[in-house]
Amino acid sequence: MLRSLVLCSLLAAVGWAAEHAVLTNGSVLRVDRHEIEGPTIRLYLNGGTLEFPAALVERFEPALGTGHTVPPWTAQPVPGTAALPGPQELLRQAAERWGLPVEFVASVAQAESAFRTDAVSPKGAVGLMQLMPGTAAMLGADPNDPAQNADAGARYLRELLLRYGYSAPLALAAYNAGPAAVDRHAGIPPYAETRAYVQRVLKQFPPKPQ
């Protein structure tokens, strides 16, 4: 049995297939494998990769041969909406369509709107992914349509991840403050709101079932 890996090591390490990433917030994420490069960790899952601070992962455990199963995060049904997909199901569909971890997209939606499809911010951001009208128009989506909102939000996250080399902190900063601010500051902008937002999303990734 492979031993759990401690992330405080500054040496790069490569994980093995089928393992559980145990986060410092107590959540567990199933991944194919991982790589550690100093303070950054790269997770391979759902056919893609995602990078974020290694300090947020407590350890890795082999998923096979442990004698128990760690329950994954799954979308929860919304009472009274049997005919239509609930918010979390829409997020799952959107995440899979754009090749992103469902948990990552759900963490953003949780931070943005607490999964409320009718949420509107004081700045005019709409829906569960809190799309600004201009961003929604750029993506060709109706932000008031929950399915289009979820899909456009996941697509935008993917575009930001590609733009910033799959760095989750930079992509999240751009999602919150805009790519121009990230480019202008060559990193996470020194805005208290943006920095708190990035930390909040990463700390709750993946979110626990509601």
Q: Which residues form the catalytic set?
A: 112
**Among 42, 150, 43, 165, residue whose Cα is nearest residue 98:** 150
**Among 58, 32, 130, residue whose Cα is nearest residue 87:** 130
CA distance 80 to 120: 23
CA distance 69 to 86: 26
Residue with tokens 């107590």: 26
Angle between helices 146-163 and 87-97 (to 10 degrees): 40
106 contacts 166 by C-beta, under 8 angstroms: no
